[in-house]
Structure 1
């Protein structure tokens, strides 16, 4: 728990560094509650850290009600650390100036990495996602659609302070940050699940075990039209093994029915990297 709390704090300070040395000095904002806090700090002159802490209070309460005590505690630690970090780093000189493309890319990467570290260890640095989860239960829209809608509103507000160009750059930086958060949470390699229906299920599983060192499971499925029963193979692999898996499938049965989808996390069992041969 102490390690996770420290990592949430580190993630928050990394995010604060990206805000104070890249985005804010170049009139570029972030999305969510942090973006609204930046606008508020520019309009009324309150310290950014104070606004981040105050505006996130209702969202932390939502997180406590919707997700749980542990998430709320780590989020309080993260948001408080972000607020303190922006105060401590406010007078640091900007590390990039002028080049708008470089500003959005570097700023997005830094804040995305910091937010990803915090989220991976159980804490959030911004409350807008919690609001989206709550609204998705009341409205006929998905969480991702609501996050997009809420941030569109944020960037409209940002345009009143930083202008249309600043709002567009802020949206680009936010998009880059969201992609980096995804990478940090799930890792660069990630995993994939293959669902395979073939006329040679036993041979397919044997080849997968021999060539990839991966185990597999069977599900008995029935064709909706033919009512014929099949053994459906389920196998989880590393992304790096994707091409080799496809080679094995094509070698044994070119007409095999295959479904492939990404897996966010794999734990337990014998899921370890093996030599591909």
Structure 2
């Protein structure tokens, strides 16, 4: 039964990747290209090369994708290479196929076009990223540069420089308006991908409580356990008083955070409570993500 579940999970994972790549290719060929817009990444580079050579951008994308894949094979670790190999062939193929339909989803008001493109492109890319793989684009190039050349430069900074350079180049090749719309696309897509990865689940918060009296910690812990959350108890020392304190830590939902605060306000008003947002939590628990991946 365990092997069957694992096999089923892998099939669903590949289906998710295929659907995500198709939606992304659809966004490029049915929204971006018909409206003579562009975007960052390898897609933007391919469009610029097409403007100089006349070769269709989808074939140019294929060339860049295979080139990056070869570089990744020699420069990155095996697990990093395996994460991009499937998409490196699938996505360019879908770009070529969806281009053949000549279907235009929306045309006209450029700002609305940007919104539609970003929704589809961000959603499709988010599906692929949630499956644990990447497109093998500028993110992979950034990893290679970080690994082999700019070892002391943060990966995020390298990616920012790469995408920023592409956006500036778009301005010189296609004009400042196209570059501006490409920037808008890029920003909206990033937000949508973030929500795809983290935002569709209920928000979780880390609540840290230090009772005024250490003796109160047991009752507070019992209350948190009673609302269905685990508690970790830490021994800490206050820097101002140098006295030993007990700190309780728990991962809670917004509603549970409010319940704990109300409980403290009513029974232990001198307690200290810190609440901070958490991007995601891996492990076993309510609304946590299993660390071995999602089925």
Smaller-chain TM-score bracket:
0.7 to 0.9
Whether the aligned pair in 1 keeps the contact of 2:204 and 2:280 (CA below 8 Å) is: yes
Deviations 1:78-103 (A, max 9, x none): 13222111111114322111212211
Structure 1 SS opposite 2:281? coil
Alpha-carbon distance between aligned partners in 2 of 1:157 and 1:235, rounded to the nearest angstrom: 48
Length, aligned pairs only: 271
The residue aligned with 1:194 is 207
Q: CA deviation at 1:121?
A: 0.9
User: Is it true that 1:223 corresponds to 2:235 in the alignment?
Assistant: no
Q: CA deviation at 1:162?
A: 2.5
Alpha-carbon distance between aligned partners in 2 of 1:42 and 1:243, rounded to the nearest angstrom: 57
The residue aligned with 2:19 is 10
Alpha-carbon distance between aligned partners in 1 of 2:118 and 2:138, rounded to the nearest angstrom: 18
TM-score, scaled to structure 1: 0.85
Structure 2 SS opposite 1:271? coil
* Structure 2 residue runs without a partner (length 5+): 1-9, 289-295
User: Is it true that 1:209 corresponds to 2:209 in the alignment?
Assistant: no
Whether the aligned pair in 2 keeps the contact of 1:48 and 1:86 (CA below 8 Å) is: no
Alpha-carbon distance between aligned partners in 2 of 1:128 and 1:170, rounded to the nearest angstrom: 15
Which of residues 70, 78, 84 in structure 2 aligns to 1:69?
Answer: 78
The 1:170–1:264 alpha-carbon spacing in structure 2 relative to 1, beyond 3 Å, is same
Q: CA deviation at 1:126?
A: 4.1
Whether the aligned pair in 1 keeps the contact of 2:210 and 2:271 (CA below 8 Å) is: no
| 100-109 or 86-95: bigger deviation | 86-95
User: Is it true that 1:26 corresponds to 2:52 in the alignment?
Assistant: no
Which of residues 111, 121, 124 in structure 1 aligns to 2:121?
Answer: 111
Q: CA deviation at 1:131?
A: 3.0
| 239-248 or 18-27: bigger deviation | 239-248
Structure 1 SS opposite 2:33? helix
Deviations 1:125-180 (A, max 9, x none): 14212233444563554332322221110111212332101111111111111111
The residue aligned with 2:135 is 125
Alpha-carbon distance between aligned partners in 2 of 1:130 and 1:250, rounded to the nearest angstrom: 50
Alpha-carbon distance between aligned partners in 1 of 2:72 and 2:247, rounded to the nearest angstrom: 39
Higher-Rg member (1/2): 2
| 16-25 or 29-38: bigger deviation | 29-38
The 1:51–1:241 alpha-carbon spacing in structure 2 relative to 1, beyond 3 Å, is farther
| 77-86 or 15-24: bigger deviation | 77-86
CA RMSD in angstroms, aligned pairs only: 2.6
* Structure 1 residue runs without a partner (length 5+): none
Alpha-carbon distance between aligned partners in 2 of 1:240 and 1:169, rounded to the nearest angstrom: 39
Deviations 1:178-236 (A, max 9, x none): 111111112422422222323233232222233x3111111222223432222222211
